[in-house]
């Protein structure tokens, strides 16, 4: 691997960190690494790897919207509830750095659900479903990112002549 390819791999790994700690659009950063490699290589292989990576990226994004969202709709968690949860996470993230992000989302979901249903048990159930959906979303995004990284490594190390 060349120095440029190592730097691209580091960029992709930074994207993975951005998935786990939502500071960057992690999956997009990983895809950008694939694009950077295609631009560096200027070969058919580079562009084929990027094209396939873009397709896998789109599939991953589609799964992120379809699978967790469908499960939450079946559980009765509204999109507006999730939006308010994200807003609460951002507000608490500013007031209480780092920890506030992780406290704000479930707290927002719980409070909105409690205000809507006036039932603590139902609000806790909705919060649990929302947290499971977010976890599933992260797993889908990580699986997509690792697939993109694997495609890059195969293209850069295995298929590229030395």
The pLDDT, as a whole number, for residue 162 is 66
The pLDDT, as a whole number, for residue 27 is 94
Q: What is the pLDDT of residues 74-95, one digit of tens each?
A: 777 777 887 888 889 889 888 9
Class of residue 121 by CB neighbours under 10 A (exposed 0-12, middle 13-18, buried 19+) = exposed
The owner of tokens 């990576």 is 53
CB atoms within 10 A of CB 50: 24
- On the question of pLDDT at 97 being above 90, the answer is no
């Amino acid at each position: 691997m060349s120095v440029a390819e190592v730097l691209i791999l580091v960029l992709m790994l930074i994207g993975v960190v951005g998935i786990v700690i939502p500071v960057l659009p992690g999956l997009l950063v990983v895809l950008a690494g694939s694009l950077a490699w295609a631009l560096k290589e200027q070969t058919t292989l580079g562009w084929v790897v990027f094209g396939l990576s873009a397709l896998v990226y789109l599939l991953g994004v589609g799964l992120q919207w379809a699978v967790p969202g469908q499960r939450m709709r079946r559980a009765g968690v509204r999109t507006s509830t999730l939006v308010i949860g994200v807003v609460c996470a951002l507000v608490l993230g500013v007031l209480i750095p780092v920890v506030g992000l992780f406290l704000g989302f479930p707290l927002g979901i719980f409070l909105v659900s409690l205000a809507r249903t006036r039932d603590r048990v139902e609000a806790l159930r909705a919060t649990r479903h929302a947290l499971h959906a977010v976890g599933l979303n992260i797993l889908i995004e990580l699986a997509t990112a690792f697939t993109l990284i694997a495609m890059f490594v195969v293209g850069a190390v295995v298929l590229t002549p030395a």
